[in-house]
Amino acid sequence: MSNRDMLVVLSGPSGVGKTTIGKLIEKDSRLNGLIKKVPTCTTRPPRPGEEDGKDYMFLSRAEFAVGLSEGIFLEWVEIFGNFYGTSKREVDRILKEGKIPLLIIDVRGGRYVKSLYKDDVLTIFIMPPSEEELRRRLVSRSDLTEEELSLRLGIAHEEILESSNYDYIVVNDDLGLAVNKVVDIIEKEITRRSEDDRGKDLGKDTGNL
């Protein structure tokens, strides 16, 4: 299995489990260490068990401001007062290693990354199994006021409306199955892309395919 430059974007409403899925994909033996999650730079405080530099790189607001000034983020977004950004340098570093950066970002970031890298980006949207389940996961997560919950649900619905622009949609009903499906998709796309490249090379060699 080989790959030319390729990026994977994983999006989905808050609470749908995309970070968990991202971690499991990275470790999946079928992908053979090819996928590397790009840690998200964020100003939000770490949750228990979160290690700096793994899923997130925790920055102060002042540090994030410097990053913005210097244009270090491929894309960035404010979500409920916290800032989140994807480091260009991290993405490039992974690409240079010959690996596939995995970006776990919102749909607006995903849209932008797609517009930059076009066909080199594979976009996968993780869908909650139902409205009730989405609400349940959001409620269970923290002590939101009714208003914050409705805003989060509003944003979740808006993201779901955008999901039709994604290359693939995977429902996260059973975590193991969802991870399996995402790995299948990535495997298939890596193979397809390397076959496309071989086709192109063949065309070059014979001069008239």
Task: Write out the residues near its own copies by the rule CB under 8 A.
Answer: 61-62, 64-71, 73, 76-81, 83, 108, 111-112, 115, 147-148, 150-151, 153-155, 157-158, 161
| Six-digit token string for 97 | 């290693």
Query: Quick one: 144 or 171, whose CB is closer to its own copies?
Result: 144
Least Å distance, CB 132 to its own copies, is 15
Query: Quick one: 16 or 183, whose CB is closer to its own copies?
Result: 16
Least Å distance, CB 207 to its own copies, is 36
Taking residue 53's Cβ as centre, other Cβ atoms within 10 Å add up to: 8
State the burial class of residue 49 (Cβ atoms within 10 Å of its Cβ: 0-12, 13-18, 19+).
exposed
CA 30 from chain centre, in angstroms, equals 19
CA 74 from chain centre, in angstroms, equals 13
Least Å distance, CB 81 to its own copies, is 5
Contact 15, 159 (CB under 8 A): no
Least Å distance, CB 75 to its own copies, is 8
Query: Quick one: 59 or 186, whose CB is closer to its own copies?
Result: 59
Residue type, 141: R
Query: Quick one: 34 or 73, whose CB is closer to its own copies?
Result: 73
Query: Quick one: 149 or 185, whose CB is closer to its own copies?
Result: 149
Least Å distance, CB 114 to its own copies, is 10
Contact 100, 35 (CB under 8 A): yes
Q: b/e string for 82-113 if b means 16 or more Cβ within 10 A?
A: ebbbbbeebbeebbeeebbbbbbbbbebbbbb
Least Å distance, CB 63 to its own copies, is 10
- Measure the CA–CA gap between 17 and 134, rounded to whole angstroms: 10
CA 110 from chain centre, in angstroms, equals 8
Query: Quick one: 24 or 72, whose CB is closer to its own copies?
Result: 72
